[in-house]
Amino acid sequence: MPGCAHCGHSLDIIANQVGRSDTCPHCDEDVRSCRNCRHYDASVAKECKEPFAEVPSDKDGANFCELFQIGEGGLHAKASRDAMLNAAEALFRKR
C-alpha cells in the first residue's frame, strides 16, 4: 500500500489514479509529487530513476509529470532519506 512521503501514513489510493490536486488526508501535503512516485530515488541523478522524466526542482510539490506512478516509496523514501542523513552525520562525528 502506498505511503505518504511526508508523514508516513498509508494512502488509500487506487493504482495510479492520483490527481494533481490530491492531498494526503493526514498531513495535507501534495500526493502527486516526486517523493511519492515509485521512480523517486534520492541516490540517483536528478533523484529520479526514469531517464526521460522532466524532473521539477520542487520534489515535494504537485507536478504534471506524465511518468508519475504512485509507489510504496513514500515510506521507503522517508526511511532512505533519514538513513542517508544519519550516515552522513556519522562521518563527521567525533569519536
| CA pair distance 49, 19, nearest whole angstrom | 22
- Residue 78 pLDDT class (50, 70, 90 cuts): low
Domain tally, the chain: 1
DSSP code at position 12: -
Nearest to 19 by CA among 53, 62, 77: 62
Q: What percent of the chain has pLDDT over 90?
A: 32
47: exposed, middle or buried (C-beta count within 10 Å: 0-12, 13-18, 19+)? middle
The one-letter amino acid at 70: I
Domain of residue 55, residue span: 1-95
Whether 86 has a pLDDT exceeding 90, the answer reads no
Average pLDDT over residues 5-16: 75
The C-alpha cell at 64 is: 504534471
In three-state secondary structure terms, 48 is strand
